[in-house]
Every structure is written in structure tokens, then in C-alpha cells.
Amino acid sequence: MSQSKLPSTLKTYSVLPDNRSPLERALELALSEALYSIDHPYPELLDAQKTRKEAIATLGIDRQVPVWDSTDTEQVKRNRSEQAWRNRQLSGTRAGFVKALEQMGFGADVTPWFKKPSELDPYYFQIWVYASDRVLTQEINARIDQLLIEMKSERDSYVMNLARESIASPRIAVAAEIGITMTSQPFVPAGSEANALTHTGIAQHLRIISTSEPARNERL
């Protein structure tokens, strides 16, 4: 950016004292030029979903996101920065635990003590955490523990189970077999032709038989 594009006031106004040197004035103008060459960051700067990638960590620090991990994906960091204040409002609740863990990429199921009074002591809750796309490690376990300690009520205690979740989608296949047998008395050729798919599932069997005495079609 050329100096001519600077606001006219910056060419005449200076924050330096009257005894400034030409070098100091040149540095001041160079810094001003560099600042004015940067695109205006607002209002996207404070929007976790739109801010620049380089600013996400700073935004997370500003909003005091607990248990920040630099190895998380960009989208996980954006989600956690965006929901930081909401998570604090839901601290100590089942919805708060579930939402916070979802933002970290985990599924969760929380059971409070009054749902299982015969198994859990008062103010205890049991939580199952499911990881479907990552290897279970001590670091993951420690991160979840830190998050639960940060969000639970002071009087609450918990039992946590970390499990690897495997999801399979069922598939239904259809196999069709078609055979044609033709006879002409007294000559009866041997053999028939049949084609079938190798999938297991719902099968449809269709066979057409044609004879010359009497001529008829049968569908089985």
C-alpha cells in the first residue's frame, strides 16, 4: 500500500515529540501504513464460526474454554469457542454434560443418582462417554475428566465409563434367478440356464416354462 492512501491526518499528525528524528518519523509512518493495509476484522473477529483460523485459539482463551487441546480439529475448536458461555449456564446439568461432550466429538449418556437409587449414592451420577472415530487413550480420558470436574456441581461426584462405539448400517440385498426350460415332445433337451447374484437378503425366484403340447406359460 502506498503512503498516498494513508489518511491525510497521518501525514501531518504524529504522536512523537517535537524532537523526533527523521528515522523515528519514518518508522511511525511505516507502522501506520502496515496497520491500514490490514482488512477490518470486525464483526467476524468475535464470531467463532467466521473468524480467521489463526484467531480461534485467542478467542477460546478470551472466552475461557476449559480443557483446550491444540490437536482438536478446527471445527471442534470453533464449536467450543462459540458455546463457551452457554456451557457455563448449563454447568451441573445433564444437558450441559451432553452438549459439551458433543462439541468435543463424543457421544454421552448421563444417569443421575435418583434414577438408580439402589446403585448410586446421593449426588452421584453415572456417565457413559462414547468415542466412535478415535483410539481410546489416557490423554482422552484425562481431558474428559478435566471437563467434568470443571462443569459439575461442587457437591456432585461421578462415575465415568469410556467406551468405543461401533456403528454398522444394515443392508438388504435382492437376488433374482431367472431360468427358461423349453421342451418339445418327444425330444427333451437336458440342462437349463440360471443366473443369480451373490448377495444375501430378500430373494425373488422367477422361472418361465414353455412346452409345445399343450402350449402354455407358467409362472412360479
Residues 158-208 have pLDDT tens digits of 988 888 766 556 666 665 555 555 555 555 555 544 444 454 555 444 444
Average pLDDT over the chain reads: 78
For the record, the C-alpha cell of 70 comes out as 491444540
pLDDT at residue 71, as a whole number: 86
**The cell 501525514 sits on which residue?**
11
pLDDT at residue 81, as a whole number: 94
What is the 3-state secondary structure of 27-39? HHHHHHHHHHCCC
pLDDT category at 111 given cuts 50, 70, 90 is very high
Higher-confidence position of 72 and 173: 72
Q: Which amino acid would we find at residue 51?
A: T
Domain layout of the chain by residue ranges: 3-36, 45-164, 173-219
Q: How far apart are CA 61 and CA 72, in angstroms?
A: 15
For the record, the C-alpha cell of 119 comes out as 446403585
Q: How far apart are CA 173 and CA 184, in angstroms?
A: 37
Q: What is the DSSP string of 170-182?
A: ---EEEEEEEEEE
